[in-house]
Structure formats: structure tokens, C-alpha cells
């Protein structure tokens, strides 16, 4: 399926497309209203297990351009059990994360309603139901996409949750169990009928998992079938892809998942591309900033903090805070109206994110660093050697030191990243 648009005539008759025209181009809308809550711009960080914890969410939020962030998908049954501290930790967030949505999964309508009520009491702006996870252990318990074969049961969950909470209630789902069991349009209509405020469609089936190509025409079919906002998800890797999805489907917003860990700048790049300026300021081109100026601590007000970061040399400069990074420019390329990260920018991004993990005192920070290393070093020349050094490190301090040693030994000012060889 083509993911490039070259026909603007449809914008004359499609209200969403017409509202998304900027200088004759169809772009991602600047604003999306869901149940009275404004999402500006109309871009969403998809919930991802093991990825979208509070540190990564704040990291993305502070880089700019992301309108809505979401938690990792969380077991409704787990957060109601006093002994399940891990599930409760998934719902931890800070004030600077608003607007934020908590995503739940489960199959018991009463349990889902009770968990949704807890989410509302915690201060979340939205509660979202996961009907998309294809993992076998989730599907086996009739969670995630496992429920797509039982629409009447889904209706019971919709009604139970909607009756229990007053905050906007949304759902993220796949197109169906398989190519022979496509239910996305029927499910979207049912969601609208039950009072849900928006739907997000990952345009793949459960059987596809994350393979193959997302069918954006399914998103278009859902958009034509309902009046509530429709958010499109699947195969958005560049700002051009985001605009193409809106152009082809008329969706009201876009959701990005797997691209974000590899390119945390994607949301701001979309915003720049859609504004057609290419002049908005971006990530760092300088390497260090004194500890006194490093922002974003755990209470959302102050610094990442030099003394709280374990390094071998306590007098060495700490990473830039994300808010500081967002005020420094990146280069643009002639054929793209958005900024591209340089090797130096990726260095600063890796150090800053790792420092935030340590500051948060998150259990298993070392494992998280190693998990993210393969994404964050994508495109860095010699990145394989850096990943090996990170994987072999024994603690967080050593990981940071090895990152610093790798980049400090490299020449500066190389501009846009070269491809890894």
C-alpha cells in the first residue's frame, strides 16, 4: 500500500483533511479534542511495555512536539492486588506529564471498572483499554487482542468502565484477529455507542504481530464509520509518513510507538515538518552544561543534579537536562523541513536519559540502560562497539563512563549522522 499522497482534491470534501491543510499540504492537525481535553499537537506516544515508564515519558515530553503520552499497558487485576507493587509502579507519574493516559488490560468488566476508577482517583487525564497486545501470555488470559473474537464481551467492559469513570475513556485495538476476522469498523461503532471518547487503531491483525505492513485503509474505514476522534497507528517512521497517514485516512491524530525509542525527536520533527518552517530549535550541539543549570529532577522542578549522578570524576560536567537541550539548534537538510540529530546530539541524548534513570532510582536501571542501548545507538558509526561496552558493564556508573569514553574519543562537529558500518 502506498504511503505517499499526491491528491489534494479529497480535502475539498473531507472536513478533517480540510482542517489539516497548511500551505496546500495535508499535515497532522495542530490540535485534537478528546472528551474536552485538548491534545496539542495531535500526536500520541504509544503505550509500550518496558519502554514508556515515567522517565521515558518525561524525556519525550520535554523534547517537545508530543501532545499525549501513555503509560505502559498495566494489568487491571494487578493494580487492585495489594501485593502487586510492580503494577502500581506503572501508574506512577509526575505533574509535568499532563496530559497523560493510563492504559489497562484485562477481561473482567467489574475489575476493569474498579481499576479505571483507581486511575481516575490518581489524577490521570484519560483511561485507555488495551485490545491490541498480541503477546501470547496476555492473549491466553483473554487480554489485549485476545478479546477481539468476543465483541459482546467487549461491550460489557465498555459499559462497565464508562459507567464508573467521568474522565475520557478511550480504546486502542487492532483491526481483528486475522485477515478473515476484521472487526475494526464494528468495534469502533460499538465504542462510540457505549460513550467512549476516541479510538486508536493499530492497522494490523493479531496474527500479524508486528510483521508485514500496516493497512492504513482500515484506519480510513474506521474514520468514515464514526464521529468520535480516530487516531492512526502503524508504520510511522518519518514526519512524511505521519502526514501521509492523515492524508490517506483522514484520521484526527497519529500515534507512534517503535520509532520513538530509536528517534526520540520524531514528534518534534513532525511538528516542524507540518509548520513548514524547519527553524524550530532542537537538541544539543554542545556537549556539557554545569550542574547548576541541569533541569528536570524527580519532583519535576529542579536539576538532574551533579552530585546524584555516580561518576568516577565528581568534578566532571553532567549531561544537559532535557529542557536545556530543547533550546539548542540542530542542523536541517535542504530536502527536509525538520532538524536531524548529529552524532553529538545522540551522545547528549544517551547521557541525559541514562542520568534521568539513575536520578529516578528506578529498580533495574542498569537493565533498562542496556535495553535502550540498541535503540539509542542506532545510526552511530561504531555503535556496535558501544553496545558491546554497555552490555559488558556491571553497574550504572560504569555504563555512563563507557558511553562518555566512547564519544569523548571521537571527533566533534560531524553534523548529520552517518550510517553505521
Burial label for 54, CB within 10 Å (0-12, 13-18, 19+), is buried
User: Does the active-site annotation cover 133?
Assistant: yes
Catalytic residue among 133, 194, 251, 274: 133
End-to-end CA distance of the chain: give it in Å, rounded: 31
Question: Are 383 and 346 a contacting pair, CB within 8 Å?
Answer: no
Catalogue the E-assigned strands of 46-197: 69-70, 74-75, 100-105, 126-131, 169-176
Q: Around Cβ 409, how many Cβ atoms within 10 Å?
A: 8
In sequence order, which residues have a C-beta less than 8 Å from that of residue 317 and are 6 or more positions away?
287, 288, 289, 290, 291, 306
Supply 385's cell numbers. 562497539
| C-alpha–C-alpha distance, residues 184 and 199, integer Å | 10
Output the CA–CA distances (angstroms, integers) from residue 70 to 52, 130, 294, 298, 324, in the order listed: 7, 11, 25, 18, 24
Q: How many CB atoms lie within 10 A of CB 285?
A: 18
Distance, in Å, from the CA atom of 73 to the CA atom of 109, rounded to the nearest integer, reads: 17
Q: What span, in angstroms and rounded, lies between the C-alpha atoms of 350 and 373?
A: 8
- Cell of residue 241, nine digits: 509518513
Burial class (CB in 10 A: 0-12, 13-18, 19+), 287: middle
State the catalytic residues.
133
Amino acid at each position: 500500500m502506498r504511503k505517499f499522497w499526491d491528491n489534494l482534491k479529497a480535502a475539498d470534501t473531507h472536513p478533517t483533511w480540510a482542517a489539516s491543510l497548511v500551505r496546500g499540504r495535508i499535515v497532522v492537525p495542530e490540535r485534537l479534542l478528546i472528551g474536552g481535553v485538548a491534545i496539542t499537537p495531535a500526536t500520541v506516544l504509544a503505550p509500550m511495555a518496558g519502554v514508556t515508564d515515567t522517565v521515558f515519558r518525561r524525556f519525550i515530553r520535554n523534547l517537545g512536539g508530543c501532545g499525549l503520552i501513555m503509560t505502559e499497558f498495566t494489568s487491571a487485576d494487578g493494580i487492585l492486588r495489594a501485593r502487586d507493587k510492580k503494577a502500581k509502579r506503572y501508574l506512577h507519574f509526575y505533574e509535568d506529564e499532563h496530559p497523560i493516559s493510563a492504559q489497562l488490560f484485562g477481561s473482567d468488566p467489574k475489575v476493569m471498572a474498579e481499576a479505571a476508577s483507581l486511575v481516575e482517583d490518581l489524577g490521570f487525564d484519560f483511561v485507555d483499554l488495551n485490545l491490541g497486545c498480541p503477546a501470547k501470555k496476555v492473549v491466553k488470559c483473554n487480554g489485549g487482542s485476545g478479546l477481539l473474537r468476543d465483541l459482546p464481551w467487549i461491550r460489557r467492559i465498555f459499559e462497565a468502565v464508562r459507567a464508573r469513570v467521568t474522565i475520557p475513556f478511550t480504546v486502542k485495538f487492532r483491526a481483528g484477529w486475522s485477515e478473515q476476522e476484521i472487526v475494526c469498523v464494528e468495534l469502533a461503532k460499538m465504542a462510540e455507542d457505549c460513550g467512549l471518547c476516541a479510538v486508536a487503531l493499530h492497522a494490523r491483525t493479531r496474527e500479524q504481530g508486528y510483521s508485514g505492513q500496516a493497512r492504513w485503509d482500515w484506519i480510513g474505514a474506521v474514520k468514515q464509520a464514526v464521529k468520535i476522534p480516530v487516531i492512526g497507528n502503524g508504520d510511522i517512521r518519518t514526519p512524511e509518513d505521519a502526514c501521509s497517514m492523515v492524508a490517506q485516512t483522514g484520521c484526527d491524530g497519529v500515534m507512534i510507538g517503535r520509532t520513538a525509542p530509536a528517534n526520540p525527536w520524531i514528534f518534534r520533527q513532525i511538528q516542524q515538518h507540518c509548520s513548514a518552517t524547519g527553524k524550530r530549535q532542537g537538541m544539543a550541539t554542545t556537549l556539557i552544561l554545569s550542574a547548576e543549570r541541569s533541569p528536570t529532577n524527580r519532583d519535576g522542578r529542579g536539576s538532574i543534579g551533579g552530585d546524584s549522578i555516580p561518576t568516577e570524576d565528581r568534578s566532571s560536567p553532567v549531561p544537559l537536562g532535557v529542557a536545556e537541550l530543547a533550546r539548542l539548534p540542530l542542523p536541517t537538510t535542504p530536502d527536509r523541513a525538520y532538524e536531524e540529530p548529529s552524532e553529538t546530539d545522540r551522545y547528549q541524548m544517551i547521557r541525559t536519559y541514562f542520568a534521568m534513570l539513575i536520578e529516578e532510582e528506578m529498580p533495574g536501571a542498569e537493565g533498562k540502560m542496556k535495553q535502550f542501548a540498541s535503540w539509542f545507538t542506532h545510526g552511530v558509526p561504531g555503535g556496535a562497539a558501544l553496545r558491546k561496552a554497555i552490555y559488558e558493564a556491571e553497574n550504572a556508573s560504569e555504563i555512563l563512563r563507557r558511553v562518555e569514553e566512547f564519544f569523548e574519543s571521537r571527533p566533534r562537529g560531524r553534523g548529520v549522522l552517518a550510517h553505521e558500518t
